[in-house]
C-alpha cells in the first residue's frame, strides 16, 4: 500500500459522491474539507489504522479546537466533520476495505436548532423599505418578494434565468439541493414586482437578477453584465433589514424560515411545507413546528374549560 492510500481513497470517495450519489459541488468541497481535517490531524496512511480510539480523540480535538480569535466549533459544525468521516468509512466498507465500521460512530445529542424568522409585520416592513422606481430598486423589491413568496434558497434565486420563471401561470420548477426538482409558486405581489423589474430591463442577459452597475472596461472590452451572486443577494437583504429598523440578523434564509413559518401558522400541513421547501426528510422540516407551538396557547385559551 502506498503511504498516500488514505488520501487516494478519499479522492475516490469524493468522485463517488459526485457521480453515483449526484451530490452538488458545494457538498463535495465541504466533504473534502472535513476529511482533509481528519487526515491532517491523524497523519494516518492506511484505512486499517482508523480505530474507535482514534475517532474518539479526534472528536475531543474538534470539541476543544480554538481558532486565532479563541473561537470554537459549534456542536452542529462538529457533527458535519463526523458525518463526513462516517460516510467515508461506510464507503470503504462497501468496497470491502478493512477499517473501522462507520456504524460504530454515533453523533452526540445536539441541541434543538434555533430558527430565526420574521413576523408578517416585519416582512412587510422589509419589503416596503425598498422605495424608488430605479431599476435597482425594482430588482431589489422583486428579490425580497420572491424570497418570501417561494422560500427559495439564496443559491436557487441566484441561479434563476428569466426563462425559468413563468409569470403567466405563477409557478415554475427549480433544481435544488441534490439536483432534486420541485415546483414553487409565486404570489401576485411577487409576480407584479418581477414584471415591473423586467419591464425596465434593456439587456439580453439570461439571468433573472443581475448587477445593474454599468459594465466596466476590461482590456478595452466592456465586461458583460453578470448575474447576482448569493453573496450580493445577502447584502441586498441585509441593507433593507437595516433600513426597515429590524434588529434581528436578517438573511435570505431568514425569509425562507419566514415562508415556512407563515404557511404552518396559517394551517398548512407539514408534509406540504416539506415539499415546498424541497426537504428530503420530514425531520428537517420539523424544526419549524416548535415555532408554531405558541399558537397552541390561543387554542387552549379559546377552547379549554368552556363548561366551567
Go through the domains of the chain in sequence order and give each one's CATH number: 5-104 (1.10.150.130), 120-297 (1.10.443.10)
- Which segments of the chain have a pLDDT < 70? 1-3, 108-114, 214-225, 290-300, 302, 304-308
Continuous H helices in 152-251: 154-158, 188-200, 230-243
- Provide the pLDDT for residue 245: 95
d(CA 26, CA 178): 10
Task: Kindly report the backbone phi and psi dihedral angles of residue 185, in degrees, each rounded to the nearest multiple of 5, phi listed first.
Answer: -125, 145
CA distance 72 to 2: 35
- The pLDDT value given to residue 22: 82
What would the grid cell of residue 107 be? 453523533
Q: From residue 75, how far is each of 72, 268, 289 by CA, in Å? A: 9, 31, 22
Which of 91, 114, 107, 127 shows the shortest CA–CA distance to 11? 91
Parallel, antiparallel, or unpaired: how do β-strands 181-185 and 217-218 relate?
A: unpaired
Distance between CA atoms of 229 and 88, rounded to whole angstroms?
31
pLDDT at 1: 40
263: nearest Cα among 273, 275, 252: 273
Say what the pLDDT of residue 26 is.
Answer: 83
Tell me which H or E stretch contains 175.
strand 171-175
pLDDT tens column, 50-106: 999 999 999 999 999 999 889 999 888 999 999 999 999 999 999 999 999 999 998
Please tell me the distance from the alpha carbon of residue 157 to that of residue 152, in angstroms, as a whole number.
6
At 296 the pLDDT is 64
Supply the pLDDT for residue 110. 57
Is there a catalytic annotation at residue 153?
yes
Through-space distance between the first and last CA atoms of the chain, rounded to whole angstroms: 79
Q: Indicate if 113 belongs to the active site.
A: no
Catalytic residue flag (residue 288): yes
Task: Answer yes or no: 279 catalytic.
Answer: yes
Q: What is the pLDDT of residue 217?
A: 54
What's the CA gap between 40 and 288, in Å, rounded? 38
Catalytic annotation on 177? yes
* 222 three-state secondary structure: strand
Q: How far apart are CA 40 and CA 56, in angstroms?
A: 16
The long-range contacts involving 97-103, CB below 8 angstroms and separated by at least 24 positions, are 97/9, 97/47, 98/47, 98/48, 99/47, 99/48, 99/50, 100/50, 100/51, 100/52, 100/54, 100/55
Closest CA to 82 of 97, 100, 62: 62
Given the residues 34, 58, 197, 288, select the one marked as catalytic. 288
With left for phi above 0 and alpha for psi between -120 and 50, is residue 242 left, alpha or beta?
alpha
- The conformation of residue 246, written as its DSSP 8-state character, comes to -
Going by C-beta distance under 8 Å and a sequence separation of 6 or more, which residues neighbour residue 150? 174, 184, 185, 186, 190, 259
Look up the pTM and report it. 0.69
Catalytic option among 5, 7, 46, 177? 177
Which position among 86, 141, 153, 191 bears the catalytic label?
A: 153
Amino acid at each position: 500500500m502506498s503511504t498516500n492510500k488514505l488520501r487516494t481513497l478519499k479522492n475516490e470517495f469524493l468522485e463517488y459522491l459526485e457521480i453515483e450519489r449526484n451530490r452538488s459541488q458545494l457538498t463535495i468541497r465541504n466533504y473534502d474539507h472535513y476529511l482533509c481535517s481528519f487526515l491532517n490531524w491523524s497523519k494516518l496512511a492506511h484505512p486499517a489504522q482508523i480505530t474507535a480510539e482514534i475517532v474518539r480523540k479526534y472528536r475531543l480535538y474538534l470539541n476543544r479546537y480554538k481558532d486565532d480569535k479563541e473561537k470554537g466549533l459549534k456542536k452542529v459544525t462538529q457533527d458535519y466533520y463526523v458525518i463526513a468521516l462516517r460516510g467515508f468509512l461506510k464507503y470503504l466498507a462497501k468496497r470491502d476495505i478493512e477499517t473501522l465500521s462507520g456504524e460504530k460512530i454515533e453523533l452526540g445529542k445536539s441541541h434543538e436548532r434555533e430558527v430565526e424568522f420574521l413576523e408578517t409585520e416585519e416582512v412587510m416592513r422589509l419589503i416596503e423599505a425598498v422605495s424608488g422606481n430605479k431599476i435597482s430598486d425594482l430588482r431589489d423589491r422583486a428579490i425580497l418578494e420572491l424570497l418570501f413568496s417561494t422560500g427559495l434558497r439564496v443559491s436557487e434565486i441566484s441561479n434563476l434565468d428569466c426563462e425559468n420563471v413563468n409569470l403567466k401561470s405563477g409557478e415554475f420548477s427549480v433544481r435544488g439541493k441534490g439536483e432534486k426538482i420541485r415546483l414553487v409558486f409565486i404570489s401576485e405581489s411577487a409576480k407584479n414586482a418581477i414584471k415591473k423589474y423586467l419591464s425596465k430591463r434593456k439587456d439580453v442577459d439570461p439571468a433573472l437578477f443581475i448587477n445593474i452597475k454599468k459594465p466596466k472596461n476590461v482590456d478595452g472590452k466592456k465586461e458583460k453584465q453578470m448575474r447576482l451572486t448569493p453573496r450580493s443577494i445577502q447584502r441586498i437583504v441585509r441593507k433593507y433589514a437595516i433600513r426597515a429598523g429590524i434588529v434581528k440578523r436578517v438573511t435570505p434564509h431568514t425569509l425562507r424560515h419566514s415562508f415556512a413559518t407563515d404557511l404552518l401558522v396559517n394551517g398548512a400541513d407539514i408534509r406540504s411545507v416539506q415539499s415546498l421547501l424541497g426537504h428530503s426528510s420530514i425531520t428537517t422540516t420539523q424544526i419549524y413546528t416548535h415555532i408554531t407551538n405558541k399558537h397552541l396557547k390561543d387554542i387552549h385559551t379559546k377552547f379549554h374549560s368552556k363548561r366551567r
